[in-house]
A and B are shown apart, each in its own frame.
Chain A
C-alpha cells in the first residue's frame, strides 16, 4: 500500500477531539518545564518522550475504523482494534527516530545554532522512522511471498 494523504479523516474528527490533543500536548509541555525547574533537567527531559496524546490518537483511530465498517453493515470492533494496534506498531518505529532525535540534540545543541540542530534532528527523526517503516514493509512482503511459494 502506497503512502497517501486522505482528508476524509479530518471530516470525521470532531472539534473536541482536536481540543483534547491540544490540551494534553500543552499540559505535558508545561509540566515538563515545571518539573525541570523543580527536579532538574534530567527528570524534566524524560517527559519529552512521554506518550501524552497517544491514548487520544489510538482511541480516535479505533473509533474512525469502527464507524467506517459499521457504515458498510459490519460490526467494525475487530477492525477498529486492529487499526489501533497497527498505529501503535507505527509509533514504536517512530520512537526509534525519537531516540535519534534526542541523541543528535544532546550531541550538537551546545556547539551549533540551536534552530539548525532542532530542524536537523526533526529531519533525522523522519528519515530514520520512514526508513525503518519501509524496511519492515518490504520484509513482510518478501515473507508473505515466501510463505505463498512454499505452500
Chain B
C-alpha cells in the first residue's frame, strides 16, 4: 500500500510539473510537445529501478515504445478530428482513447508477446 501511495504522489507531482511548464509556453504547437512529456515514465521507471532493479525497468521501457507509437496515432487522430469537425475537445480526446488501446495492444500482440 505504501508503494502505491508513493507512486501516486511522485507521479502526480512529476505530471503536474510538466503540465505547468507546458501551460507557460507559447505558441500552442510548442506547448503541445509537453502533452507527450515522459512524466509518467520518469516517475514509474525511477521507482521501478529502486524497487525491482534495472532489468525490470528495461523491459517496461521496451514495451513503452509500443505505447509511444500508440500515443502518436492517438494525438495525430485527435488533431485531425478537432480541425475538421465541430466537436468539443473533451469528447474527442475521450472517445478516441480506444485507438490508443487498439494500437498499443495490437503492437504488443504482434511484437512484444512471447
Q: Which residues of A contact B (CB under 8 A)?
A: 1, 3-7, 9-10, 13, 18, 21-30, 32-34, 36, 41-55, 57-62, 77-78, 80-99, 101-103, 105-106, 109-110, 114-115, 118, 121-122, 125, 129-130, 133, 137
CA distance A52 to B112 in the complex (A): 22
A105: B residues at CB distance < 8 A: 41, 45, 57-58, 61, 64
Contact in complex: B36, A91 (CB < 8 Å): yes
| Cβ–Cβ < 8 Å partners of A58 in chain B | 35, 78, 82, 89-90, 92-93
When the two chains form their complex, are residues B24 and A88 in contact, meaning their CB atoms are under 8 A apart? no
Interface SS of chain B: helix, strand, loop or mixed? helix
Instruction: A3 to B22: give the CA distance in the assembly, Å.
Output: 12
Instruction: Report the bound CA distance from A42 to B92 in whole Å.
Output: 28
Contact B25 A5 (CB under 8 A): yes
Give residues 47-61 of B contacting A (CB, 8 Å): 47-49, 52, 54-61
